[in-house]
Structure 1
């Protein structure tokens, strides 16, 4: 059972016509942290014998931004032989999962807390599983980041720009699988709420979630939002500014927060490259940077918990070197 201590929720909700709630509680049920087992955790570290694509390059040098290593990673990524070698067919996962225990052991998944601190501060996630939503922090670092919030939430919440007002001013409908605006003008939001701008990646406490499920103002807002365009890009941001919601901020513009200041997710937008952050070292998809190996050094200097986007089909070294770094760091934190 989850303890009654304050539990933080890192959430990614996708909301279209209907809200789908998927909360999976990540808590060790059978294996508890035991300080006497620390030395035995060494087998969980990644080694050259694990045969990951990062073994063909120097991940340490890549993470430090060394030019020669980055050029080598870029060259490898562009070759067809390398791209073919890192692609894993679906049949592999189907066959590997026939023996779940062996699969988890061979992949060295961490299925138990590595410290008492992590065990005493269980996290809950709600997410839409995708291959693009990779962490920048170890679980222990995430726990400490959430503890440092001291009851506050962390999510983008700004005044809705004029050029996005159409998203909430007109009713929308699904036509041939696409969201289309109609000529029907919507009634003002319930309780005269101010609609804020945000995104679907949020870090909020348990009280916030309880308000989402029980507060009449929020329930009315959810109902009102069902025929708007992309409700997840304003719903959570609006709730964050409601008086009485645990961890929320007042609706004053003094409390506006951008995605670069919120800790949930880091994105490089093409429009702001060279000004807010360095230029993308990968490529762009819908004006969002798909990170390459050259982005890793900068990414690890940021306070965000997760980053978007990664793609193992185009820039596998970025993902594998980051994964290797986080595993080393998680185990090093034990000593």
Structure 2
């Protein structure tokens, strides 16, 4: 019920973390996008309106952008670009599009409500271990996770302190 209430507070907007693609331009080979769209990079951890996803996946209006993204070996990690790009180009008129540009790097990450994560370059302690610069959540993080407003958490490993995930599951349900 809390998740439903949180999503209702978005008033029909999508919940999408993104940043301008600046330092990631090499991943797109500095290509220009069709439809006068600007590149945005983000994560696949998002909450979208069903109508937005239908248009993104099946619609013809954004077909030229989708076709560019789907070309084999054209863009590195297209999943990190496709949905944020569609969500932050409001002139494409997709349902739930974000009207404001994403926050600057200094303001995103920990403040993104879609996902809690501790990256190695954050100023937060990781009492467990890092795998590819992401803190693997464990028992020491349970009380913190129970106090933050995020709707998901990244990253648990099934074979590393599994009791932490179990405790979160019991707390949530």
Quick check: TM above 0.5? Answer: yes
Report deviation, 1:263: 2.4
The total of aligned residue pairs comes to 166
Provide the residue aligned with 1:231 in structure 2: 78
Provide the residue aligned with 1:150 in structure 2: 11
Provide the residue aligned with 1:169 in structure 2: 29
- Equivalent residues in 2 for 1:90-109 (5 A)? none
Any idea what SS the aligned residue of 1:155 has? coil
Any idea what SS the aligned residue of 1:203 has? coil
Scaled by the length of structure 2, what TM-score is found?
0.86
Provide the residue aligned with 1:312 in structure 2: 158
Provide the residue aligned with 1:269 in structure 2: 119
Which whole-Å CA distance do the structure 2 matches of 1:254 and 1:294 have between them? Answer: 30
Q: Which runs of 5+ in 2 are unaligned?
A: none
Structure with the greater alpha carbon radius of gyration: 1
Query: Kindly tell me: are residues 312 and 210 of structure 1, through their superposed partners in 2, closer, same or farther at Cα, counting changes over 3 Å?
Result: closer
- The structure with more strand, counted as a fraction of residues: 1
Q: Which runs of 5+ in 1 are unaligned?
A: 1-139, 171-186, 328-335
Which whole-Å CA distance do the structure 2 matches of 1:204 and 1:252 have between them? Answer: 17
- Equivalent residues in 2 for 1:32-181 (5 A)? 140-162=1-23, 164-169=24-29
The counterpart of 1:200, out of the listed 44, 55, 63, is 44
Any idea what SS the aligned residue of 1:306 has? coil
Provide the residue aligned with 2:97 in structure 1: 248
Report deviation, 1:255: 9.0
Which whole-Å CA distance do the structure 1 matches of 2:131 and 2:4 have between them? Answer: 31
Provide the residue aligned with 2:167 in structure 1: 321
Which whole-Å CA distance do the structure 2 matches of 1:262 and 1:153 have between them? Answer: 13
Report deviation, 1:214: 1.1
Scaled by the length of structure 1, what TM-score is found?
0.46
Measured on the aligned residues, the alpha-carbon RMSD in Å equals 2.1
Kindly provide the CA deviation profile for residues 290-330 of structure 1, in whole angstroms up to 9, marking residues without a partner as x.
Answer: 01111111112111111111113121121111122123xxx
Report deviation, 1:144: 1.1
Which whole-Å CA distance do the structure 2 matches of 1:301 and 1:197 have between them? Answer: 28
Report deviation, 1:146: 1.0
Report deviation, 1:262: 3.1
